[in-house]
Structure 1
Amino acid sequence: MEQTYKQPVSVLVVIYTQDLQVLLLERADHPGLWQSVTGSRDGEESLRQTAVREVEEETGLDAQCFRLDDWGYQNTFTIYPQWRHRYAPGVTENTEHVFGLVLPNVLPITVSPREHLGYVWLAAEAAPEKCFSSSNAEAIKRLLK
């Protein structure tokens, strides 16, 4: 059987409300680590398609029903050693493209138990402190500018 590796191209989707409540998800594989929706591109899908798919998989929300904005920037970072086995040999960096999804108000979320233990809505001022990823924290801080 041929090994299928993740692409080192991903999306980060900051989900927030009009009054700047931010959704964070707790990782199932590392309890205590909180983040926004993230995920790698599959096949030849566009980055927008990746964002829509990942939002649905991780939250149960249909991103096409809300305003999904490409924030027009990306982060390139070193893949944590514990996750490198998911990528082709020799791949050590990932490029993460940042999106924002604006909801009218706080909505109930259905987390994927395989990926997340739970979720929390936090004020945008408090959410960056809870994120384990500095790029995720910086993306949330952009909401405050």
Structure 2
Amino acid sequence: MKPLKQPVSVLVVIYTADLRVLLIERADKPGYWQSVTGSREGEESLAATAGREVLEETGLDVACYALSDWQQQNHYEIYEHWRHRYPPGTTHNTEHVFGLMLPAPLPVVLAPDEHLASCWLPWEEAAAKVFSPSNAEAIRQLPDRVAACVR
């Protein structure tokens, strides 16, 4: 039996300077596309959670690229069909948003028990495809975030 999840998670938007975004399709909900997500384990830092989840879900090592903490938190209600993964009575999660900029779209190695497929899309298409409103909002911020880095 898997240990219960903490209601503290990361969302990692993986993207390129030309605003292409990596999306992965959930194995437990085919048709649900998202960026990398995952719950903190133990007392690990949020950056460590982001790095671990990116490695587990894509095979990419964040140490080779530019991981940034966007200093953004989203507090939301956990979907009913996933609440059994959390301690009894847990209904809300706090998600911390990170970005990972890559030099170009790279192939990824998916965890087959977690994800079925991956794709690289222009940011507008990616924002429209993800099922999570907080994920869509983070992707919609990319043009401004990338422009701010160039200045």
Normalised TM-score (structure 2): 0.93
Q: In the alignment, which residue of structure 1 is the partner of 2:44? A: 45
1:82 alignment partner, SS class: helix
Given that 1:71 and 1:98 are in contact with CA atoms closer than 8 Å, whether structure 2 keeps it comes out as yes
Amino acid at match of 1:10: S
Partner Cα separation in structure 2 for residue 127 and residue 88 of structure 1: 32
**Size of the alignment, in residue pairs?**
144
Q: In the alignment, which residue of structure 1 is the partner of 2:93? A: 94
Equivalent residue runs for 1:1-145 within 5 Å: 4-145=3-144
Q: CA deviation at 1:36?
A: 0.1
Between the aligned residues of both structures, percent identity stands at: 65
2:141 alignment partner, SS class: helix
**RMSD, aligned CA:** 1.1
1:88 alignment partner, SS class: coil
1:85-118 deviation digits (Å, cap 9, x = unpaired): 1111111000000000000001011111000001
Partner Cα separation in structure 2 for residue 59 and residue 88 of structure 1: 27
Gaps of 5+ in 1: none
Gaps of 5+ in 2: 145-151
Given that 1:125 and 1:144 are in contact with CA atoms closer than 8 Å, whether structure 2 keeps it comes out as no
Q: CA deviation at 1:33?
A: 0.5
Amino acid at match of 1:135: S
Amino acid at match of 2:83: R
2:47 alignment partner, SS class: helix
Partner Cα separation in structure 2 for residue 39 and residue 32 of structure 1: 18
Q: CA deviation at 1:125?
A: 1.7
